[in-house]
Chains A and B, each alone.
Chain A
Amino acid sequence: MTTPPIIKTEEPQPKPIPQEPGARDNSPQVWLFRVLSALVVPAVLVLFFFTLDFLQQRDLNKLLQVSVALVVGVAGVWALYWGMDRLVSILPERVATGVRPFTFAGPAMVLLGFYLVYPAINTFILSFQDREGEVFVGFDNYVRVFTERTYLVAMRNSVAWVVIVPVAALLIGLAFATLADKLPRRWEAATKSLIFLPMAISFVGASVVWTFIYRFRPEGFGEQIGIMNAIVEAFGGSPLDWLAVPVWNNLFLMIILIWLQTGFAMVILSSAIKSVPDDQLEASRIDGANEWQVFMRIVIPSIASTIVVVWTTVLITTWKVFDIVWVMTGGREDTSVVAQQMVTEFFTFSNDGMGAALAVLLFVAVVPILIVNVKRFREQEATR
């Protein structure tokens, strides 16, 4: 009953699909048609997009381009699928039945192959190559990652981010969800909206928002326009350049992400808290438990699985965050993180091999978490 609302990794169950003649025909001709039918839609799409100079003109009327793009994106793609379906129908019925699923599923597979499978393998190979991706250098890139200060700092910071941000977002989200549960309904909805609102804001936008919190002016250069320093001065302190204070500046950047992610944690935890059966709560209250005991002994255990899911979700988001650091400090003052360092390497320094090694690091580190998550979920499904 308190199943995490998010990951419903239902194992795909084979559907009792009525046997259609030819569906499992594995003769070479049928396979040829299958491959062809999968390729046609993406191929036509790519040819159309990239030969149409119109779409690549940079100084044409933007709105016109957008409209054409929309027409192509909606009607064009649908028309392509329809056309393929008609074409396949010309084939003898038996062959057509065998080929048709590939006109439906094929284009997705082709796109995935090109945009995820091929690049992922390529990135892995590239991570063993030099900056141009021409000479194999063995484990050099990885050795540098684990020995040079730049990368060690980025990794140290990334680890701090994934330790602190998810826990903070969870705790604040949980506290808020629990308290808001006791409010009148209208107030509960309104305050929850306000906490959730930052989820709509981009990481770049959020960084600009917080610029006006952390803004620093040395003493004697005018009034403080950042609220943190204004508060510090109001209490008689001297202003600080928050984003340049060693080690602590990382925390100030993390607060931006905590601000963004707490709403997410709060909404999910709130619906889990509401699904804790009332009679359990009532029973323990009648037995003399106070609210804190009810919370710790009844509520927390019943929403434990949801907590784990929220925690891992925020953790993965945190691990891959790059925008905030990129905009706020660019990684200066020892604030770099792995995801931002990766972009800096291949985008700013054009070091493809190093960038690829950091990308592989980003990927490999999340795999264990996801495996644990899936395992947990399966056990849960099995015991239901």
Chain B
Amino acid sequence: MSAPTETVNAPTPRSSEVEAPATKVKVSRVPVYLGIALITLIWTIPSLGLMINSFREPRSIRATGWWTVFGNLFDSAAWTVQNYTQVLESGFGNAFINSLAVTIPSVVIPITVAAFAAYAFAWMEFPGRQVIFVAVVGLLVVPLQMALIPILRVYTNFDLNGTYPAIWLAHAGFGLPLAVYLLRNYMGSLPSSLIESAKIDGADHFKIFTRLIIPLSVPVLASFAIFQFLWVWNDLLVALVFLGYNEQVRVLTVELSDLAGRGEGTLSLLPAAAMVTMILPLVVFFSLQRFFVRGLTAGSVKG
């Protein structure tokens, strides 16, 4: 088997698709187009409405629906970025940086730790190798809800709750089973002749790992990195439990759920605030769509 994450590819054209063949013409196009248009429309309207609302005058957000803009689309007085400046100043700018501070190490640490472990499971000999690997994969089924309360108690005892390292290590621990599983399968599928010849040339394990295996594993590392990035960036549960509502450290998802709970008064800020939390994942989505799909599908083995 080749690497597991390689199997999900962007749709490849079928041979018959290159030029519309006779058999395809038989299907009436009209219902197909109608169906597609209907589903696409329903799926796009919610995000479109949010985006339009985020650029409207606060007063009009509260007074009328976003669809009313289509009446006077080119009235420049109707549009503003005021919501964004206000949102960024009122804590979301800070929360954005907090989200970065939480996410980057929470992606990098598990990748490093898992890569070393995956190499050992694939290419080193030690007692219990298979048993331990199966146990690690078995941990995929444990939902992180099983881990929250005891870890929170330990953190509280040592007064570590609400610190960045506490949440980095927690995210690292929760992400490890998937990372080890994906990386081990990928590294194990690399040709053994490669490692053999490197050994004959006198390279030790550390050198083989850093110079040979890591560069070859970039696709799977990228897939996992994107999956873990999205996971951590969009996570509310772990952030809520280990960082909480403390204003200095709270991340975007916590900030947004707090704002959403404040009722009618902050209604006009919600669209811009939600857009701020989505912007980075959307940029990743549009720039790295292929890796993005791979990362998500690779992550779906997680229990």
Flag if A77 contacts B285 (CB, 8 Å).
no
Closest CB in chain A relative to B52 CB, distance in Å: 10
Chain A interface, number of residues (Cβ within 8 angstroms)? 143
- Cβ-defined contact, B146 with A201, below 8 A: no
Q: What is the 8 Å Cβ interface bit string for chain A, positions 1-26, against chain B (1 contact, 0 not)? A: 00101111110111111111001101
| A301 contacts the other chain (CB 8 A) | no
A119 to B169, CA, bound (A): 14
- Measured in the bound complex, the distance between the Cα atoms of B33 and A176 in whole Å is 11
B249 beta carbon closer than 8 Å to chain A: yes
Bound Cα distance from A226 to B271, whole angstroms: 13
* Complex-state Cα separation, A258 to B147, whole angstroms: 27
Task: Give the distance in Å from the alpha carbon of A339 to the alpha carbon of B146 in the complex.
Answer: 11
A337 at interface, CB cutoff 8 A? no
Residue of A10, A120, A204, A226 near B1 (CB, 8 A) is: A10
Q: Is B278 an interface residue (CB 8 A)?
A: yes
Look across to chain B and name the residue whose beta carbon is closest to the beta carbon of A24: B127
**Which residue of A18, A185, A198, A358 is within 8 Å of B17 (Cβ)?**
A185
Known contacts A111-B172, A115-B174, A367-B141, A227 near B65 by CB under 8 Å? yes
Find out whether the CB atom of A23 lies under 8 angstroms from the CB atom of B125: yes
Q: Is the CB of A316 within 8 A of B303?
A: yes
**Chain B: minimal CB distance from A319 (Å):** 9
**B228 an interface residue at 8 Å Cβ cutoff?**
no
| Cross-chain contact of A63 among B97, B129, B133, B177 (Cβ < 8 A) | B97
Task: Tell me, yes or no, whether B69 is within 8 Å of chain A by CB.
Answer: no
Of A10, A119, A367, the contact of B147 (CB 8 Å cutoff): A119
- Chain A residues near B289: list those with CB within 8 A: 193
**Shortest Cβ distance from residue B172 to the other chain A in the assembled complex, whole angstroms:** 6
CB of A72 within 8 Å of the partner chain: yes
Residues A55 and B164 in contact, CB atoms below 8 Å apart: yes
Q: Does B88 contact A (CB under 8 A)?
A: no
Compute how far the CA of A327 lies from the CA of B274 in the bound complex, rounded to whole angstroms. 13
Cα–Cα, bound, A188→B298 (Å) = 23
Chain A residues within 8 Å of B230, by CB: 200
User: Given A115-B169, A191-B40, does the pair A212, B53 have CB atoms closer than 8 Å?
Assistant: yes
A115-B169, A230-B65, A285-B23 known; A81 vs B146 contact (CB < 8 Å): no
Interface of B is mostly: helix
Contacts of B26-75 to chain A: CB distance below 8 A = 26-27, 29, 32-33, 35-36, 39-40, 43-47, 49-50, 53, 61-67
Minimum CB–CB distance for A367 against chain B, Å: 6
Q: A186-209 toward B: CB 8 Å interface, digit per residue (1/0)?
A: 001101111111111111110111
Closest to A133 in B: B153
Q: Which of A59, A176, A193 contacts B36 (CB 8 A)?
A: A176
Report which of B24, B35, B104, B134 forms a contact with A70, defined as CB distance below 8 A.
Answer: B104
B139 contacts partner chain A, Cβ-Cβ < 8 Å: yes
Which residues between 337 and 379 of chain A lie within 8 Å of chain B, taking CB atoms? 339, 342-343, 346-347, 352, 355-356, 358-360, 362-363, 366-367, 370
- Asked if A244 is at the interface (CB within 8 A of a chain B CB), the reply is no
A331 on interface, CB distance cutoff 8 Å: no
Of A14, A185, A355, the contact of B149 (CB 8 Å cutoff):
A355
B residues 176-230 in Cβ contact with A at 8 Å: 176-177, 180, 184-185, 188, 192, 196, 199, 204-206, 209, 230
A94 CB–B CB distance under 8 Å: no
A225-B303 in contact given A69-B104, A101-B120, A355-B149 (Cβ < 8 Å): no
Given contacts A49-B165, A172-B39, whether A104 and B120 have CB atoms under 8 Å apart is yes
A108 CB within 8 Å of chain B = yes
Residue of B nearest to A13 (CB): B188
Min CB–CB distance A341 → chain B (angstroms): 11
B282 in contact with A200 (CB, 8 Å): yes
List A129-145 residues whose CB lies under 8 Å from chain B. Answer: 133
Q: Beyond A62-B101, A200-B230, A205-B277, is A77–B163 a contact (Cβ under 8 Å)? A: no
* Other A-B pairs beyond A15-B188, A120-B142, A201-B47, 4, CB < 8 Å: A55-B165, A70-B105, A208-B50, A316-B303
Closest 4 CB pairs between A and B?
Answer: A115-B173, A202-B234, A49-B165, A108-B117
A-B contact pairs, 13 of them (CB 8 A): A13-B188, A55-B165, A62-B98, A74-B112, A100-B124, A111-B172, A115-B147, A120-B146, A123-B147, A182-B24, A194-B40, A200-B282, A366-B143
Binding site for B on A (CB under 8 A): 3, 5-10, 12-20, 23-24, 26, 41, 45-46, 49-50, 55-56, 58-59, 62-63, 65-66, 69-70, 72-74, 77-78, 81-82, 85, 89, 98, 100-102, 104-105, 107-109, 111-112, 114-120, 122-123, 126, 133, 172, 175-176, 179-180, 182-183, 185, 188-189, 191-205, 207-213, 222-227, 230, 259, 262-264, 267-268, 270-271, 274, 278, 281-282, 285, 291, 309, 313, 316, 320, 322-323, 326-327, 330, 339, 342-343, 346-347, 352, 355-356, 358-360, 362-363, 366-367, 370
